[in-house]
């Protein structure tokens, strides 16, 4: 593993241990050339899983992309990175356990929504509003209705504008 500071190829592993959920191995490394310390994660590589989009287009499954969309939904929410990592690992494991070479982007979206529902309701509403492409306030009403059936922390789950609302028309763009 190349040193990120000085690019030396001669770095050494000082310590390696599984993460809390045992889905990855965390290695602490040190570079003998510059003394730099850094951490790497080792994870299982999914055999080529293809994602089928709504348009019918196929793309290789991209864990980082999944993680980014979860992080966008959770932006500024009081949720530890470790829990986000665990949520994403959980989704990936569920995809693996399907045992299929292909999975629809809808299926992944549903898994993310299930996960966020248990983690943070505000993030859940944000994600759902983008994912389901809500147009009407009543769509939010229906979603909040679904959530309130379960109790738990609804005080703040007002319709939060999605961080990347793609349905906003480009107002007055000249
Ligand atoms: Zn170095």
Tens-place pLDDT, residues 1-18: 899 999 999 899 999 999
Å from CA of 37 to ligand 1 middle: 8
Query: Would you tell me how many other CB atoms lie within 10 Å of the CB of residue 156?
Result: 11
pLDDT in tens, 46-71: 667 899 988 999 998 988 889 988 99
Summary count for the chain: helices (H), strands (E): 5, 6
Ramachandran assignment for 73, one of left (phi > 0), alpha (psi -120 to 50 degrees), beta (any other): alpha
pLDDT in tens, 111-154: 999 999 999 999 998 888 877 765 555 666 666 666 666 544 44
Report how far ligand 1's centroid is from the alpha carbon of 27 (Å): 16
| C-alpha of residue 4 to centroid of ligand 1, in Å | 7
For residue 3, report the distance from its CA to the centre of ligand 1, in Å. 5
Q: Cite the DSSP H helix spans in the chain.
A: 63-73, 81-98, 105-119, 121-131, 137-148
* Ligand 1 mean position, distance from CA 26 (Å): 19
CA 85 – ligand 1 centroid, Å: 27
């Amino acid at each position: 593993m190349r040193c990120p500071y000085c690019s030396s190829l001669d770095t050494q592993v000082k310590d390696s241990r599984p993460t809390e959920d045992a889905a990855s191995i965390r290695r602490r490394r040190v570079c003998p050339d510059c003394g730099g310390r850094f951490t790497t994660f080792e994870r299982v590589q999914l055999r080529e899983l293809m994602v089928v989009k709504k348009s019918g287009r196929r793309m290789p499954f991209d864990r980082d992309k999944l993680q980014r969309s979860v992080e966008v939904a959770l932006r500024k929410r009081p949720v530890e990175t470790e829990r986000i990592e665990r949520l994403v690992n959980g989704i990936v494991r569920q995809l693996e356990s399907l045992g299929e070479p292909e999975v629809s982007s809808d299926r992944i979206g549903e898994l993310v929504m299930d996960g966020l529902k248990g983690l943070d309701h505000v993030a859940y509403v944000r994600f759902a509003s983008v994912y389901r492409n809500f147009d009407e306030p009543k769509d939010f009403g229906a979603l909040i209705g679904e959530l309130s059936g379960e109790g738990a922390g609804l005080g703040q789950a007002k319709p939060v504008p999605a961080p990347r609302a793609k349905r906003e028309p480009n107002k007055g763009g000249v």
